Structure 1
């Protein structure tokens, strides 16, 4: 199969390309090919989310596209995703495996829940076969978020007493690769960790010696801005935590194991007694 991977210069897209390369013809779609060192067996094509013509050219002759999300402001992401879906349809790609989010819902407070839901609607209407990989929050990302919210002996987050099913990035990469070599499912697959973990337990594991303090969303956002975060990313992190507070990331499924043949990784570090 000829499989293209967007965002291949990133951590997730790079993992997917490497997982697929030994047995398939993998094309890494990157914005700056000269700056990209591909995994063994992976070829490179120039493609930019903001350039529809480059996307159509790169996707010509491709059987399956693994579509790893763009990022940035929500309006920009929605434009980028519309360009990718349109290019895939124009190039007659038979199967689009799209990364989405567990909380893909226009009714969510999370800013990217809206962009993910919109992208899913575009794919369903595009005429391509598709498989949606709705990933939960990456454990590696959440660990950094916890450490960044530490103030002395407290980790201050606006998450209430919620639970979250953190998933390892490598498990999502393996699931995307597994979906890419299957026929289109034309439905979604919910990629979660092995358990819904209380936020307080996550804090204890990722920030040893600190206690979890639930704070108002406004106070958390203000702290991010005071620390030099941009207004957009302060908004994005705050709205994600609001959706976690509402229990929108607590589902646990067996989809990772069903797709990859291995149980999802335990995501909390082992803390010394």
Structure 2
């Protein structure tokens, strides 16, 4: 079986490539936007350079591919949707037999979250091709949410416009394992909700981070306007300020308040809890700091 993975240089796509490589009977094609340095991927993995914006290159990369693991593009929503259209059109043109696609729990045209709309439209495009598919609708990544937790670690205060919204944070590694399981199985022609083991409000998430890191962290809900002003003051690209604001609007609507057992059914494993992921990362940082101190002596 020949399996291609888009976004193979990223954290999620790269992990899927790692999980697939070395499997008996599986040839892996890592599709990246730019050439990778030698040794960046596992031995035996074929690299195909194809930007999401380059339909001919995408078709060449997918030639002879049996299954495509379709990891999302990023950036502004209109560009992202165009990229997804290009990938799906290339897969259809090259008669790929199965697409295991990444989507999100909140894949809904009525959502205020910009990427929820993109995911909804992407799923519709994929279904319209008639290609057999399997869709992993992932919740928000622990590693993604850590952007705000890390800042709160220094200040002791997690300030976000989430109100009383609840989220089931999921480990990125679990999403990679779910996509790998879908890619190596028969097409299900349905979606699978990939969540963490529990849900929590922002105060609960702050408490988990505080326990894992041994630092006091409290949650303070702030108005969306305040969040927008604070985000703009950091110099963040305006697009990402809008994207994050729209995300928290969907959190306030309880669109991420969901726990499912689909991950365990697919992989036979229990999903990682936020505390385990954050504790592991804290331990890795301490080990790294200890080695650096030892090397300096």
Fold shared per TM-score above 0.5: yes
Q: Does 1:52 align with 2:55?
A: yes
CA distance in 2, matches of 1:177, 1:54: 24
CA deviation after TM superposition for structure 1 residue 22, in Å: 1.2
CA deviation after TM superposition for structure 1 residue 58, in Å: 0.7
Q: 1:230 aligns with which of 227, 237, 240?
A: 237
CA deviation after TM superposition for structure 1 residue 154, in Å: 2.2
CA deviation after TM superposition for structure 1 residue 151, in Å: 8.0
Partner of residue 101, structure 1: 104
Partner of residue 264, structure 1: 271
CA deviation after TM superposition for structure 1 residue 34, in Å: 4.2
Partner of residue 251, structure 1: 258
Q: How many residues matched? A: 271
Single out whichever of 200-209 and 112-121 deviates more from structure 2: 200-209
CA distance in 2, matches of 1:228, 1:7: 27
Partner of residue 27, structure 2: 25
Q: Any unmatched runs of 5+ in structure 2? A: 281-297
Q: Deviations over 1:231-270 (max 9, x none)?
A: 1001111111111111100110001111111000111246
CA distance in 2, matches of 1:212, 1:221: 17
Give the conservation status (yes or no) of the 8 Å contact 1:191–1:255.
Answer: yes
SS at 2:274 equivalent: coil
CA deviation after TM superposition for structure 1 residue 146, in Å: 2.8
Q: Counterparts in 2 of 1:90-169, with a 5 A limit?
A: 90-148=93-151, 152-169=155-172
CA distance in 2, matches of 1:35, 1:224: 34
Structure showing greater radius of gyration is: 2
SS at 1:263 equivalent: coil
CA distance in 1, matches of 2:229, 2:85: 33
Q: Does 1:7 align with 2:14?
A: no
CA distance in 2, matches of 1:151, 1:224: 17
Q: Does 1:218 align with 2:225?
A: yes
CA distance in 2, matches of 1:18, 1:66: 13
SS at 1:33 equivalent: coil
Single out whichever of 249-258 and 201-210 deviates more from structure 2: 201-210
Q: Any unmatched runs of 5+ in structure 1? A: none
Q: CA RMSD, aligned part only? A: 1.6
Q: Counterparts in 2 of 1:174-253, with a 5 A limit?
A: 174-207=177-210, 208-253=215-260
Give the conservation status (yes or no) of the 8 Å contact 1:205–1:270.
Answer: no
More helix by share: 2
Give the conservation status (yes or no) of the 8 Å contact 1:13–1:173.
Answer: yes
CA distance in 2, matches of 1:42, 1:91: 20
Q: Does 1:173 align with 2:176?
A: yes
Q: Which runs of at least 4 in structure 1 moved beyond 6 Å after TM superposition? A: none
